[in-house]
């Protein structure tokens, strides 16, 4: 599986094999993806301390999957008061952080907590 931080601090998990949907994933692939969701949530919790998470699976181009027949999973940190992927409005504040900086912090958190290498 591939996993990497995404634009607003969330992590994208994608199987290395082209799998269009859950029906075509093996039991081993499903287990590995589920474990990676758990570990990504833990790494983000320890690193940026969100109040909650959205976990989303994308199947097919119309759902946002950029590669045809290649599903992926988003692990999205959420905070009280944010709105749909942290759009800034009214009394909601956004703290900017570069994706490179977040990746380095997540790598250190993963290493010190025996999580899979990011």
Task: Cite the active site residues.
Answer: 72
Spatial distance between the Cα atoms of 13 and 5, rounded to a whole number of angstroms: 9
Which 3-state string (H, E, C) describes 15-50?
CCCCCCCHHHCCHHHHHHHHHHHHHHHHHHHHHHCC
Given a contact cutoff of 8 angstroms between Cβ atoms, the answer to whether 86 and 97 are in contact is no
From residue 102, how far is each of 5, 10, 26, 65, 105 by CA, in Å? 8, 10, 32, 24, 5
């Amino acid at each position: 599986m591939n996993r990497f931080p995404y634009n607003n601090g969330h992590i994208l998990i994608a199987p290395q094999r082209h799998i269009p949907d859950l029906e075509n994933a093996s039991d081993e692939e499903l287990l590995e993806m589920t474990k990676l969701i758990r570990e990504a949530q833990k790494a983000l919790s320890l690193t940026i301390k969100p109040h909650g998470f959205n976990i989303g699976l994308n199947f097919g181009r119309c759902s946002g999957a950029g590669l045809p027949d290649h599903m992926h999973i988003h692990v999205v940190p959420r905070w009280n008061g944010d709105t749909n992927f942290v759009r800034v409005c009214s009394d909601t504040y956004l703290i900017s952080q570069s994706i490179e900086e977040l990746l380095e912090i997540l790598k250190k958190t993963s290493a010190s907590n025996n999580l899979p290498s990011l």
